[in-house]
Amino acid sequence: EMKSNYELCLSGHRCILVPYRPEHLPNYHEWMQDPHLLEATASEPLSMEEEIEMQKEWMEDERKCTFIILARDLILIVTEQNDAKDPIQIDGKKENAEGGEGNRALDIEDIPPPPHLIDENGDTGIIAGTKKSYPNLTEMTTHAMIGDINLFLSEEESEYDSDGALQQHHQIHHYFHNSHPGDRNRNLLRICDDFNNSSDGNSKATSKPKLTQAELDIMIAKPSHRHKNLGTELCLQIMHYGASNLHIRRYFVKIHESNTSSLKLFRDKLGFVHCAYAECF
């Protein structure tokens, strides 16, 4: 949840997810003035004052889990050669650490390593001296923002007990860590569907615990980072986190029928199944 996860970042192969903080507001507000993004996200334009108030409300809301997406290829890194700054591409233009406020460079140890550099115990010893706390990450990476991804948590009634929930958790964990990357989404959705429709001996008519579900919402605001299959990676990343850490058992999305990119992502790539239609949405 947002309040309890406000100090958490999720490290992926090509992106890093960081909590939505006040430092992100100027860029986020600029994004949400774009008519295309407003239509795609079914949002209304807000004033900066309204955005500030909403960020504060979401920070305190335990049912909202909101992350800003940072692109690794946009993060400036100090190199070993005379502390030079690696150039980066921002919307097709080469820039460096002197490119403006917020474009300062970070040491490699100030950036969370990608998953393949973290061992099974969570240690990052493969990179000498790597830290597990990154106090400068938010302040010095606002230029690397490319979008946001969110989980809006709610409760659902279930037909199975906590033993079934534990079994599902172990199966999700197994598939994410042992299956081929291309099969993970299909396996995850199959598991969730199997358990949500279970009618075996694990069901208890007298005990129906409320279990967590989440609406998943993603926006790639930077045109330079669309159509690069980032959406698939990011959704699997946050779904894995939600299933493993927040005990989320069911994910759903709301997509406008004209949003073909999102339909392709969730229906064709992630295997989501159409379950309802609201003409007024």
Q: How does DSSP assign 155-211, residue by residue?
A: EEE-SS-HHHHHHHHHHHHHHHHHS-HHHHHHHHHHHHHHHHT--STT--TT---EE
Lookup: tokens for 265 = 């992502």
Confidence of residue 275 (pLDDT cuts 50, 70, 90): confident
Provide mean pLDDT across the span 17-27: 95
| Distance in angstroms (rounded) separating the CA atoms of residues 141 and 20 | 12
251 close to 216: Cβ distance less than 8 angstroms: yes
178-209 pLDDT tens trace: 444 444 444 444 434 444 444 444 444 444 34
**Of the ranges 18-22, 246-250, 259-263, the best mean pLDDT one:** 18-22
Cross-strand pairs, 155: 212
Please tell me the distance from the alpha carbon of residue 226 to that of residue 281, in angstroms, as a whole number. Answer: 24
Q: Which residues, 6+ apart, have CB-to-CB distance to 237 below 8 Å?
A: 10, 12, 15, 17
More confident residue, 218 or 281: 218
Cα separation, 95 vs 91, in Å, equals 10
User: At residue 22, does pLDDT exceed 80?
Assistant: yes
Looking at residue 77, what is its pLDDT? 77
Q: How much is the average pLDDT of 264-275?
A: 92
Name the range with the highest mean pLDDT among 107-111, 205-209, 249-253. 249-253
- pLDDT tier for residue 81 given thresholds of 50, 70 and 90: very low
pLDDT at position 1:
52
**SS3 call for 91:** coil
What pLDDT sits at residue 20?
Answer: 95
Q: Are 130 and 113 in contact (CB under 8 A)?
A: yes
pLDDT at 127 over 70: no
When pLDDT is cut at 50, 70 and 90, the band that residue 121 belongs to is low
pLDDT at position 104: 66
Angular region, 234: left φ>0, alpha ψ -120 to 50, beta rest:
alpha
3-state secondary structure at position 154: strand
> Is the distance from CB of 63 to CB of 86 less than 8 angstroms?
no
The mean per-residue pLDDT over the stretch 30-42 comes to 90
Q: What is the model's pLDDT at position 101?
A: 47
For 160-175, the pLDDT digits (tens) are 444 444 444 444 444 4
Whether 184 and 176 have beta carbons less than 8 Å apart is answered as yes
What is the average per-residue pLDDT within 58-79? 88
Radius of gyration of the chain (CA): 20
pLDDT of residue 48: 95
Both ends of the chain: CA-CA distance in Å?
Answer: 26
Task: Calculate the alpha carbon distances from 201 to 19, 61, 192, 249 in Å.
Answer: 41, 37, 17, 19
Query: pLDDT averaged over the chain?
Result: 74
User: Does 39 or 191 have the greater pLDDT score?
Assistant: 39
Helical residues (DSSP H) of 6-47, grouped into ranges:
25-31, 35-40
- Is residue 188 a contact partner of residue 243, using CB atoms and an 8 Å limit? yes
Amino acid at 74: L
